[in-house]
Amino acid sequence: MVPVPSELEPRVREFLIRREAMSMGAGWSRESVVRLYEQLDDLSRTAVATIARGVVDDEPVTVAKLAKAAGTTTREMLGITLELVHQLRALGGPGFPLLLLEPPEGACDDDRPVVMTEDGAHVVLSVAMSQV
């Protein structure tokens, strides 16, 4: 174990969380994502597709951006995102590595980044486009 200076702890923690999430994407199938996507309501579908688009485009997505995309409040979107995390983890297997990260220092919950693996994002976008 390597000691981490206290002022770097938040950055190191976020790095480790992102790294863990990126390693969890193996094993996704289009069929499992289709089944999952069909179970989601419109707001949740919008959230998942927006997160995926942000990952693919390398444009970080926050709770506030998700709320705007879905036409809802940031408070409701934070709740939807937290619910999605639990729903997606309950699927088992490699999970659906959707992570709600800590907001930057001094920022509010609206600025929390939401991430998923790049492989997973491509699968989600493929499914989302076929469901239109």
Domain 28-130 in CATH 1.10.10.10? The answer is yes
Helix (H, G, I), strand (E, B) or coil at 38: helix
Q: pLDDT tens digits, the chain, 132 residues: what are they?
A: 567 677 877 776 766 665 555 454 445 567 777 887 888 899 999 999 999 999 999 998 999 999 999 999 999 998 888 888 777 666 554 454 567 677 788 888 788 888 887 877 888 899 889 876
- The pLDDT of residue 71 is 95
- Break the chain into its structural domains and give their ranges: 28-130
* Furthest CA-CA distance within the chain: 50
